[in-house]
Amino acid sequence: MAKEKGNRIIANNKKAYYDYFIEETYEAGIALAGTEVKSLRQGHCSIKEAFIGIDKGEVYIHHMNISPYEKGNIFNRDPLRTRKLLLHRNEINKLMGQQKVKGYTVVPLKVYLKDGLMKMEIGLARGKKLYDKRQEIAKKDVKREAEKEFKIRNLG
């Protein structure tokens, strides 16, 4: 079976960028069953409610919704089951240390297909306060208004 080349984004967590300052990102593999991979290739995935936990030196993603593969019948797994993320030991240790010492959290950012393999980008994140979110909304509004004025000025 020939492997596909290039990246294809399957699920993106835009809310994470709004709620958190992303300090670092890591690429992790996902331990999946065969029908889950087929369902992911069709784009049936949601990571909006998902969160990442570290337990006994292993990294897991909870509440990642992979819809059942329609032709999978008895081989389909629970759509919300906990799945293991595959990272190097030194990356796991770094994440655990940052979580304990500095109060960071680990959030899923996106799921994508890379050279035929399912990968997940996870981020080491620090929560935003309400005023940070308001500042971000204000910046977006100013940028949108400037683009609107520019467009009007150039068309007229």
Output the tens digit of pLDDT for each of the chain's 156 residues.
455 566 888 888 888 888 888 888 999 998 887 788 888 888 888 888 888 888 888 999 998 888 877 776 666 666 678 888 999 999 999 888 888 878 788 899 988 888 888 889 999 988 878 777 888 888 888 888 888 888 888 876
Q: Does residue 156 sit within a domain?
A: no
Domain assignment present for residue 66? The answer is yes
Residue 139 lies in a domain: no
Give the domain extent around 72: 7-127
pLDDT for 104 equals 86
Residue pLDDT, tens place only, 8-18:
888 888 888 88
Task: From 149, 25, 5, 12, select the one nearest 87 (Cα to Cα).
Answer: 25
Domain count, the chain: 1
pLDDT value at residue 88: 93
Helices (H), the chain: 14-19, 34-41, 89-102, 130-155
Q: Helix (H, G, I), strand (E, B), or coil: what is residue 66?
A: strand
Give domain status of residue 109, yes or no: yes
- pLDDT at 6 (0 to 100): 64
Rounded distance between C-alpha atoms, residue 117 and residue 58, angstroms: 20
Q: What is the CATH number of the domain that holds 45?
A: 2.40.280.10
pTM of the complete model beyond 0.85: no
Beta bridge partners of 114: 7, 117
How far apart (Å, rounded) are the C-alpha atoms in residues 62 and 82? Answer: 5
Longest alpha-carbon distance in the chain: 64
Answer yes or no: are the C-beta atoms of 121 and 110 closer than 8 Å. Answer: yes
